[in-house]
Amino acid sequence: MVFGCANKDDQTKLRIGVSIPAADHGWTAGVGYWAQTEMKNYPDIEWVYATANEPGKQTSDIEDMMTQNINGLVLLATEPNAVAPVAQKVKDRGIFLVSVDRGSDTLTPVVDVFLEGDNKAFGKKSAEYIVEKLNGKGKIVVLRGIPSSVDKDRYDAAMAVFGANKGIEVLSAQPGMWNQQKALEVMQSYLASYPKIDAVWASDDDMALGAEKAIKEAGRMSQMWILGGAGMKDIVKRVMDKDPIYPADITYPPAMIAAGIDIAVAQLRDGNIAAAAGKTPEHLGITQEQLENAAKQQGQKKITIDVFLVTPENGSKYYFPDSVF
């Protein structure tokens, strides 16, 4: 279906739904912050906003939005496969659907625009940093996230790097579910099982904090360091301050939800997703060329946001003290 811009003479406002996970950890709290911040930039749009702590609630929220005759939906799925059936209903009604961050074999084919961070680059760059910092030799443990394309892409890319460096031994890889408490519990089991750990590939800043707490409680802070990810402001600040347990971080900004909102407005109000150029948050690095190229793609349009290694030297570029994350 072709989606055009709103009729300028029509007094009815465009109505766009935004459905995201509840703030059950820092990154999703950041998603909420950036979503609400960006919606305020479009007072001409009628927003229908909801958060959900599990797929059943998110499904009900989206079904309710459809009864309110939304023209578009910006979705960050709690669990992609579980939310895919209601996303299909959205698609079947001709509602413009932008999916942000979490995809799956069942959800991703349904959407009009899929906006994601480059999770393969996330895994590759973070693993390469660990190998380099360990001088190619050391024992590491891995914390995985919620089962999804995000987690699989990060993990597979990281393991490819570790596997190519025979001096790196991955002792274990278990899911911490992007949750601080779960990561603490998994890290406690790692610490009990392995007398020597050189580094933790945490793949997420919330999980990094959980791992840190377990390490501190075990009295082993001087024995290892952690590489998380997502650019939590507290972690970025500690990188900037050269805290030895956080020598670096990897960006994966929750502000990508703002870009999803910009793209939905650009398509539904202005007639082309390329109209979002210059409106998306600068630190995401989404270029006009990316948007124009995506606009030319046949069928589903995909936009991939690069990720960057945060170091003490460049940390100020990725530090947002006013953000909740």
pLDDT value for 186 = 98
Which residue type, as a one-letter code, is found at position 203? Answer: S
Taking residue 245's Cβ as centre, other Cβ atoms within 10 Å add up to: 17
pLDDT value for 24 = 79
In whole angstroms, what is the distance from residue 176 CA to residue 182 CA? 5
Of 220, 303, 316, 239, which Cα lies nearest the Cα of 266? 303
In whole angstroms, what is the distance from residue 13 CA to residue 35 CA? 19
**3-class SS letters over 177-243:** CCCHHHHHHHHHHHHHHCCCCCEEECCCHHHHHHHHHHHHHCCCHHHCEEECCECCHHHHHHHHCCC
Residues in the chain: 325
pLDDT value for 10 = 45
**Rounded CA Rg of the chain:** 20
In whole angstroms, what is the distance from residue 217 CA to residue 264 CA? 46
Which residues does 123 contact at the CB level (< 8 Å), separation at least 6? 153, 154, 155, 156, 157, 158, 159, 160, 161, 203
pLDDT value for 7 = 43
Residue with tokens 């707490």: 213
Helix (H, G, I), strand (E, B) or coil at 290: helix
DSSP string, 67-128: HTT-SEEEE--SSHHHHHHHHHHHHHTT-EEEEES---TTTGGG-SEEEEE-HHHHHHHHHH
In whole angstroms, what is the distance from residue 110 CA to residue 112 CA? 7
* Tens digit of pLDDT at every position of the chain (325 positions): 334 444 444 447 899 999 999 987 788 999 999 999 999 999 999 999 999 999 999 999 999 999 999 999 999 999 899 999 999 999 999 999 999 998 888 898 999 999 999 999 999 999 999 999 999 999 999 999 988 878 999 999 999 999 999 999 999 999 999 999 999 999 999 999 999 999 999 999 999 999 999 999 999 999 999 999 999 999 999 999 999 999 999 999 899 999 999 999 999 999 999 999 999 988 888 999 999 999 999 888 999 998 999 999 999 988 989 888 8
Helix (H, G, I), strand (E, B) or coil at 64: helix
pLDDT value for 4 = 41
Q: Contact 92/86 with Cβ under 8 angstroms?
A: no
